[in-house]
Amino acid sequence: MSPKITGTDVCSLSSAVFDLVPRDHHKCKSRWKYPSWFRIQQTDVLEKIILQGHHNLAKFSRYSRSSGTPYRKPCIPETSTYTPMYTQPSTFSPGRKKALLIGINYKGQRHELRGCNNDIRNIFPWLINQWGYRPCDIIQLTDDGRNPLPTRHNILDRMHRLASDARAGDSMFLHFSGHGSQIRDLDGDEVDGYDEVICPVDFEESGVITDDEIHEIMVKPLAAGSRLTALFDSCHSGTVLDLPYIYDSRERKFVHGVAPGARNRKQSQAQVVCFSGCGDSEESESVTLPGQSIGGLMTFAFIHVFDRKQTLTFQSGFEQICAFVRAALPDANQQPQYSCSNPLDSSLPFYI
């Protein structure tokens, strides 16, 4: 279950609460400061943080979702902007709704996590109750003994099934909660020179899954008029779907997310939107919030923000996700990311 929402509006919150030191979101040197335009909704979790201070939450278990595999943090060159020309598909899709949920704790392994299976248990009812997904249309891969194992073979197979069966009007949801890392880019599509990867439960034997593979299976073959919304709560996941446009929170606009030579081939005839727990050079945290079992901070934020009666736009929803993450864990090396396959009108209502 997500944190309960109160009706209080905190547009007038004291600036002292969020008067933090500015952070360079690529170099991750220090903390963000809220822009003057930022507005968030009050929640009971935020109330506790504001009243008690985030140090009260320091009692929780906190884990990074990095596989521990060493990687070199690159210097990311400045990106260029573009002019949006893409028309978003119909908000209320008349087609089928299908989802693939992947949670991996790596139990008994050297880099064991806690909370990733809990993320799936939280997302599953949220999809059903909030967005009308049928239980029989939601595939779950977890390593808690309740579902098929999230091995490399099983993940790729379920991804292929989900994407290849898509047709116009369909809505699909993909959630990965587990370890992420980076390896050197070999095909020149990355701005920073590194591919992002996710780690199956058997990654030490079978290998990781690269962003190139995920894009080829989950993004490229999607039918025109279909939509895919992805949520990655893992380290180094900023551009894990290799989508050509990524949202710049400072400038409040999309910029290029892949190298110039890859922009055309990384687009899709479907609408693909990805919410990632952190930037490519950052780490996503597992935390225990008040009244909750341990889980991914990004997953908590995503469910909480979009689990409400009011209609949110893509942009306002993403901004509130960022607000939740920063309020819950101000010292985290974690800035959520938001990317898409085509120029997206972020002022339109969020829908999955």
Q: Which of 116, 235, 278, 322 is catalytic?
A: 235
Query: 271: closest CA among 200, 194, 345, 341?
Result: 341
**Contacts of residue 145, Cβ cutoff 8 Å, sequence gap at least 6:** none
Residues 25, 26, 175, 179: which is the catalytic one?
179
Count other Cβ atoms within 10 Å, centred on residue 307.
17
Determine whether 179 is an active site residue: yes
Distance (Å, rounded) from C-alpha 45 to C-alpha 304? 10
Phi, psi of 54 (to 5 degrees): -70, -15
Distance CA 309, CA 51 (A): 26
Q: Which two tokens stand for residue 299?
A: 């997953």
Decide: 189 and 262 in contact? Cβ < 8 Å: yes
Look up 274 and say whether it is catalytic. no
Range 69-91 burial, b when 16+ CB lie within 10 A, else e: bebeebebeeeeeeeeeeebbee
**How many residues does this entry show for the chain?**
352
Sequence-ordered list of residues with C-beta below 8 angstroms from that of 174, at least 6 positions apart, any chain: 99, 100, 102, 159, 162, 218, 228, 229, 230, 231
Q: Which residues are catalytic?
A: 179, 235
